[in-house]
Structures are given as structure tokens and as C-alpha cells.
Amino acid sequence: MNNDVGIRPLFDRVVIKRIDERTTEGGIVIPETVTDKSQRGIVVAVGPGKTVDGKIQKMSLKCNDHVIFGKYSGTDITIKGKDYLIIKEDEVIAIID
Amino acid sequence: MNNDVGIRPLFDRVVIKRIDERTTEGGIVIPETVTDKSQRGIVVAVGPGKTVDGKIQKMSLKCNDHVIFGKYSGTDITIKGKDYLIIKEDEVIAIID
Amino acid sequence: MNNDVGIRPLFDRVVIKRIDERTTEGGIVIPETVTDKSQRGIVVAVGPGKTVDGKIQKMSLKCNDHVIFGKYSGTDITIKGKDYLIIKEDEVIAIID
Amino acid sequence: MNNDVGIRPLFDRVVIKRIDERTTEGGIVIPETVTDKSQRGIVVAVGPGKTVDGKIQKMSLKCNDHVIFGKYSGTDITIKGKDYLIIKEDEVIAIID
Amino acid sequence: MNNDVGIRPLFDRVVIKRIDERTTEGGIVIPETVTDKSQRGIVVAVGPGKTVDGKIQKMSLKCNDHVIFGKYSGTDITIKGKDYLIIKEDEVIAIID
Amino acid sequence: MNNDVGIRPLFDRVVIKRIDERTTEGGIVIPETVTDKSQRGIVVAVGPGKTVDGKIQKMSLKCNDHVIFGKYSGTDITIKGKDYLIIKEDEVIAIID
Amino acid sequence: MNNDVGIRPLFDRVVIKRIDERTTEGGIVIPETVTDKSQRGIVVAVGPGKTVDGKIQKMSLKCNDHVIFGKYSGTDITIKGKDYLIIKEDEVIAIID
């Protein structure tokens, strides 16, 4: 399930492009210190899901979901000069409509 | 299951709007220091439930439940200028009638 | 299952009203320092039980059981000016006849 | 299952009356410092057993069993002026014939 | 299943009589400092086995097996003036032929 | 399933040949300090998979997959003068297309 | 299943005779400090396997397999003047062809 960012997350992970909340029209502000990273972002790639009791568990998230996640979750990577966060689905807290 | 706060909690999480106990008529007082956050609030959004052994477990909480939760549970977020707590259902201790 | 204390504990929790042992006729004395809280109390509300393997596990405790529990268990709350302890059933050690 | 000590242990716990080894004819000596508590005792009450996979697991111990247990196991309580230890069955190491 | 040492280990435990390696003809030497206890011994009593998924798991060890175990495993006790080690079967590493 | 690197990883492990990102045309840059090891590499050998509930779980990775993995994962070894990383599949975060 | 080293490992353990890599023709070099122990060796005895869900899991390793294992795994013992390492199978990382 290739996608345009060129990263296929494994198992129940998703790839997220962080959004810097302070500027968004939706006015979402995460209580941040200057050094904190944004806890909001857009899902850009979704893994196939993990196997539990021999069955693959369907993922709840899909591309373009606007999400909030825990502060210290996942791994930051930079690919083709762009920063992404790769994180497990159950570390994503909520979807913002 | 969109709701009016615009936040859809994932899996077995709920979104809670904290209530500052000291002013409520019900006279609920949580032993607090000035810096402590209230451990009481109203449920404003409920997740779909988590999957256990391939089946989704029905949630016990529903919107407008008045609840008490553990002091250090969940993640505080601010959305459209309003503060919310996103917390897992099993960290909610009781419902206040 | 509303009750007269107005608190419905979730899952396998119970609400307990602590008893100060030193004064009871039954002569139950918990080795205490002055600052320790009593480890004895009366059950005033019982949760519905927790779900294990898709089935709700029946609770062993019932209202008015006189119980002993671990020293550092549960969460203390004050509701309508009264102090209660909300604790998981498996942290209750024994019933006193 | 009321018993004469008036304490009904919950789930897979047992109530034990400690024996001070140094005086027993059986000559059982637990390597002790003066402050250590005896690790031997007599079972005076047995819980109903814990539920595993929906079935209650039968207890292996019975009243009057003479047992040895881990040094830091269980909770000490005093009821009607008598000291008891309430402990989980799997913290009891062996039965002494 | 009473035995001549008068100790019936519970569940998946065994009772071991330590051997002081340095003197044995088999020339087994455990890299020891003077204070270390021997990690070799003879099995003198075997428990009934532990229950897993409702079935009792048969024990692999039997009386008189000559075994090696982890340095910090089990509990030392002294019964009728004799020292024994009570240890869980899965902390026994190997049988020496 | 012998392979040309002469290493057969056990269970759900894979063998990876690290790539030094800074020079790759794909422009993948892992935020690194000078001492950090690259978190990117090519899979050169794949284990048979681990057994869960009696069934072997099929591996998701295959030889020549270009992958990203956690910074502190796995064990570095040198075989026939070449450095490799042996790592469990679930510590591999994503495949780079 | 007696073997010529006279040690029968229990459950899913194997007995390994360490090889000092620096001298081997295969040129396998484990990045070592002088004090480190070799992480390579030959399997000289294999346990019967461990029981999972009531069934014994077949072992993947066999005698004479040339293996690599984690640095701090297992227990070192000396039997009949020879040094061996007793280790659980899942702490063995790979087989070297």
C-alpha cells in the first residue's frame, strides 16, 4: 500500500506530519513551552494493522485524519528533507473534526 | 460519532470537561492544594471502545455523566480555546448521581 | 444501581466508609501510627464488576460488608462533605464477621 | 464460610496465625535476626479461591495446615487483640508435615 | 505426597538440599567467592505442579535429581536443624547426569 | 533458509546492513549527533517468524527491504569483517519505498 | 536425552560452549573489550522445550549449531573443569552457517 510520502509504516503504526498549532484557524492550543513539539498533526500513511490471536486488527485511523497524540510518543524521522513522526495507533489520543 | 466539541476520542477513551468542585452546590470537595487540578468533570465525548479478543468492548460511560477520576490520569488539551482532559475509561473511578 | 451515597463506582470498584478502629467494641486494632488512615471500613456502594474474556465477573462484596484493605490502596474523595475511599475489589483483603 | 477467627479472606488469600519457631519442639529454625518476624504459622481461614478464565480455582491449603511463607509477604492485622497475617496462597512456600 | 524431609512444597516448587561443590568427585566448580552459596544440590521433595488454563502442569524434576540453579533463586529455610532451599522449578537451570 | 551473509536470524529477528544516511541520494536524514549510529538499513536475512498460540506468525519484512528502526534496538555484530545489526521485526518502524 | 557433556538443560534452555572469536578462521569478531566474554559458541545440549497452552514447543536449535547470543544472557557454570553457558533459546540471536 505505497503512498506519496514513500514511507510504509509497519504493523499498527501511522506516519504523521506535525502541525504547529499556534497558527491554525481552529485555535487549537496545546499548553506548550517553546521547546515542546506540537502534539497535533495529519496522518499521511497508515500501517496494515497488527496481528492479535492470528487475526489482523483493522486500523481505526485513515490518511488525512487530523489527530492529537501523547507528548513523548513515537520516533521522529526526516525523509527527503521532511520531518515526520512514526507512532503506534494506540498512542494517538483523539481525532479532531 | 461526531459531537459538538469536535473531538472524537479513540478506542476506550473519553473527553472530560473538568468542574472546579469548590463552587458546586453538591458540596463535593476533593482534598486539594491550590495547584491541584479538579478530579471531577462532565463527559463530553465517548470513544467507540477497545477491541479485546476480536470483539469491541461496549463503553460504560455516556455523555453528560458526572465523574471522578484519578489525579494524574489522562492528557490535558486545549481546543478552540477550551480545556479538556482525554482519559481512558478505566481511569475513571466513579459516576456521581 | 443508584445508592444513597450518590456515587456509582465503575467496573470492579467499591466505595468504602472508613471506620476509626481504635474506638470499636470489636477491639480491632490495626498497628497504626497517628498519621496512618484506618484500614477498616464499611462497603457503601459496589460496582457492576469488570469484563474478563467478554463476560462480567460477579462481585464478591456487597453493601454493609465490614472489610479490611491494604494501607495504600484506592483514592480518597469527599462528597457532600463526607469522606469515602474508592478501591478495586481485589485490594480488599478480607471481610470481618 | 464463617470461621471462629471471624475473618473471611477474599479470593485466593489465607489467614495465618504466626508461630514463633525458636520454641517449637520440631526444631524448625528460620535464619532470623531479632527483629525478623517468624515465617512459619498455622492456617486459620481459607478464601474461596480466585477466578481464572471464568472458573474458580480450588485452594490447595486448608485450615490447620502448618506452613512456611516468604519473609515480606502479606499484610499484618490485629483483630480482637490477636495478630494475624493475611497472605495470597501462592506466597505460601510449603506445608510442614 | 508426604516425604521423609517432612516438607511438602506448594504448586511448582521443589525442595533442594545444597551440595558444596568444591569437595565433589565430579569436579563441578561453580565460580564462587567465599560468601557465595552453592548453586548445586539434590532434589528432596517435588510439588504437585501449578495450574495453567485449568490444568495441572506435570513437573519435570523428580526426587534425587542432581541440579543446578540460579544464584539468587528461592528461599532458604532450616527445618529440624537442616538447611534446605525451596525454589520454583523454572529457576532450576539443568540436571547433572 | 541459508543466505549469502551466512547468518540465520532466529524466530522473528532480521539481519540488517546499516546505511549511512547522510550520503544517500534519497536525502533521508535522521536527526543525528556524530556518535549516533544510522537508523536506516537494508534487510539481508529474515528469520522464520515466532510461534504464537502454536502457530508460526508470517514475517512482514523480506530481503532488500529498505527500513528504518529504533535508535537503541537490536544487537550489533561483526561477521567476516562486516558489521550487521540483528533486530526483532517489531522494532523496525517502517519500510522506505 | 543424556548427552556427552553430562548436563541436561531444562525446558527451553540450551548449553553452549563459548568460542573465543578472535582466533577463528571465519573472522568473526564481536566488538569486545578485553574483559568481555565471547558472544559466540557451539550448542552442546538442547532442552526438551517449554510448555505453552499445554503443548511442548519444539526447539529450533540443535547440537553443533554455531550461534550468537546476547552479551548478558544466561548463567555461566563450570562442570568437570569445563566452562559452559546455560541460556534460554530466545536469547540466542542467530545461527552462523
Are there at least 3 beta-carbon pairs closer than 8 Å between F and E? no
Confidence at residue E32, expressed as pLDDT on a 0 to 100 scale: 47
- Taking an 8 Å cut-off on Cβ atoms, the answer to whether B60 and C48 are in contact is yes
What's the pLDDT tens digit per position in E65-96?
A: 999 998 888 999 888 889 999 999 999 999 99
Confidence at residue G26, expressed as pLDDT on a 0 to 100 scale: 57
Contacts A–F by Cβ distance under 8 A: 63
Report the alpha-carbon distance of residue E45 to residue E67 in Å, rounded.
13
pLDDT mean across residues, chain E? 84
Stretch G72-97: mean pLDDT? 92
Confidence at residue C4, expressed as pLDDT on a 0 to 100 scale: 75
pLDDT of G75 over the 60 cut = yes
Angle at Cα A69 formed by Cα B86 and Cα F71, nearest 5°?
140
Stretch F15-21: mean pLDDT? 88
Report the alpha-carbon distance of residue E11 to residue E31 in Å, rounded.
31
pLDDT of F92 over the 90 cut = yes
Report the alpha-carbon distance of residue G13 to residue G97 in Å, rounded.
21
Torsion of CA C19, C22, C28, C32, to 10 degrees: 90
Report the alpha-carbon distance of residue F40 to residue F21 in Å, rounded.
7
CB G34 within 8 A of CB G22: no
CB A47 within 8 A of CB A12: yes
pLDDT of B24 over the 80 cut = no
pLDDT mean across residues, chain B? 84
A48 vs chain F: nearest CA distance in angstroms?
A: 10
Specify the 3-state DSSP secondary structure of E30: coil
> Could you tell me which chains touch chain B, where touching means 3 or more CB pairs under 8 A?
A, C
A47 vs chain F: nearest CA distance in angstroms?
A: 9
**Residue keyed to cell 496465625:** D17
Nearest to G10 among E31, E93, E97 (CB): E93
pLDDT mean across residues, chain A? 84
Question: In the beta sheet, which residues pair with residue G46?
Answer: G14
**Residue keyed to cell 543525528:** F32
The residue among D76, A44, D54, D92 whose CA lies nearest residue C32 is D76
**Residue keyed to cell 455523555:** B63
- Taking an 8 Å cut-off on Cβ atoms, the answer to whether B57 and C79 are in contact is no
Nearest to D8 among C27, C39, C94 (CB): C94
Other beta carbons within 10 Å of C15: 27
Longest dimension (CA), chain D: 45
Other beta carbons within 10 Å of E20: 11
Three state DSSP letters for E9-72: ECCCEEEEEEECHHHCCCCCCCCCCCCCCCCEEEEEEECCCCEECCEECCCCCCCCCEEEECCC
Stretch F23-35: mean pLDDT? 51
Confidence at residue A52, expressed as pLDDT on a 0 to 100 scale: 86
F80 vs chain A: nearest CA distance in angstroms?
A: 31
Q: What is the percent of chain F with per-residue pLDDT over 90, rounded to a whole number?
A: 56
Q: Residue B34 — pLDDT band, cuts 50, 70, 90?
A: very low
CB F5 within 8 A of CB F15: yes
G58 vs chain E: nearest CA distance in angstroms?
A: 16
Whether the CB of D54 is below 8 Å from some CB of chain C: the reply is: yes
> Higher confidence at residue D38 or residue B26?
D38
Angle at Cα A9 formed by Cα A6 and Cα A14, nearest 5°?
105
Beta strands (DSSP E) in chain D are 7-9, 13-19, 40-46, 51-52, 55-56, 66-69, 75-79, 82-88, 92-96
The residue among G48, G43, G70 whose CA lies nearest residue G59 is G48
pLDDT of A35 over the 60 cut = no
Specify the 3-state DSSP secondary structure of B89: helix
Confidence at residue A20, expressed as pLDDT on a 0 to 100 scale: 78
- Taking an 8 Å cut-off on Cβ atoms, the answer to whether G96 and F7 are in contact is yes
Residues 6+ apart with CB under 8 A from D35: none
Confidence at residue F52, expressed as pLDDT on a 0 to 100 scale: 85
ipTM score assigned to the predicted complex: 0.81
F8 vs chain G: nearest CA distance in angstroms?
A: 5
**Residue keyed to cell 479538579:** B38
- Taking an 8 Å cut-off on Cβ atoms, the answer to whether D81 and C29 are in contact is yes
pLDDT beneath 70, residues of chain D: 1-3, 21-36
Distances (CA, A) of E79 to D19, E17, E90: 14, 11, 24
Residues 6+ apart with CB under 8 A from F49: F11, F12, F56, F57, F58, F59
Stretch E23-42: mean pLDDT? 63
Confidence at residue D34, expressed as pLDDT on a 0 to 100 scale: 43
Torsion of CA G71, G73, G77, G78, to 10 degrees: -30
Confidence at residue E29, expressed as pLDDT on a 0 to 100 scale: 57
**Residue keyed to cell 469536535:** B6
Cell triple for B83: 480545556
- Taking an 8 Å cut-off on Cβ atoms, the answer to whether D94 and E13 are in contact is yes
Nearest to D95 among E10, E53, E54 (CB): E10
Read off the DSSP letter of residue A22: G
What's the pLDDT tens digit per position in C42-62?
A: 999 999 999 888 888 999 999
Report the alpha-carbon distance of residue B8 to residue A67 in Å, rounded.
9
pLDDT mean across residues, chain G? 84
Q: What is the percent of chain B with per-residue pLDDT over 90, rounded to a whole number?
A: 56
Cell triple for C17: 466508609
Report the alpha-carbon distance of residue B20 to residue A58 in Å, rounded.
39
Confidence at residue B36, expressed as pLDDT on a 0 to 100 scale: 66
- Taking an 8 Å cut-off on Cβ atoms, the answer to whether A76 and F28 are in contact is no
Report the alpha-carbon distance of residue B61 to residue F81 in Å, rounded.
60
Q: Residue A1 — pLDDT band, cuts 50, 70, 90?
A: very low
Confidence at residue A21, expressed as pLDDT on a 0 to 100 scale: 63
Q: Tell me the chain F residues in contact with residue G89 when contact means C-beta distances shorter than 8 Å.
A: 10
Stretch F51-74: mean pLDDT? 91
Cell triple for D73: 509477604
Stretch B51-80: mean pLDDT? 90
CB F64 within 8 A of CB F97: no
CB B43 within 8 A of CB B16: yes
What's the pLDDT tens digit per position in A45-83?
A: 999 999 888 888 999 999 999 999 988 889 998 888 899
Interface test with E, best of G75, G82, G88, G91 (most E CBs within 10 A): G75
- Determine the distance from the C-alpha atom of residue F80 to the mean position of all C-alpha atoms in its chain, rounded to a whole number: 18
Q: Where are the alpha helices (DSSP H) in chain F?
A: none
Report the alpha-carbon distance of residue F72 to residue F16 in Å, rounded.
14
Whether the CB of E95 is below 8 Å from some CB of chain G: the reply is: yes
A33 vs chain F: nearest CA distance in angstroms?
A: 21
Confidence at residue F3, expressed as pLDDT on a 0 to 100 scale: 63
Whether the CB of B88 is below 8 Å from some CB of chain A: the reply is: no
- Taking an 8 Å cut-off on Cβ atoms, the answer to whether B29 and C81 are in contact is yes
What's the pLDDT tens digit per position in G9-42?
A: 999 999 999 997 655 555 555 544 445 678 899 9
pLDDT beneath 50, residues of chain C: 1, 31-34
Cell triple for D92: 505460601
Whether the CB of B56 is below 8 Å from some CB of chain A: the reply is: no
- Which residue segments constitute the domains of chain D, with CATH numbers given? 13-95 (2.30.33.40)
Longest dimension (CA), chain F: 45
Report the alpha-carbon distance of residue D13 to residue D27 in Å, rounded.
28
Q: Tell me the chain B residues in contact with residue C57 when contact means C-beta distances shorter than 8 Å.
A: none
pLDDT of E43 over the 90 cut = yes
Dihedrals φ, ψ of F51, to 5°?
-90, 125
- Taking an 8 Å cut-off on Cβ atoms, the answer to whether D51 and C52 are in contact is yes
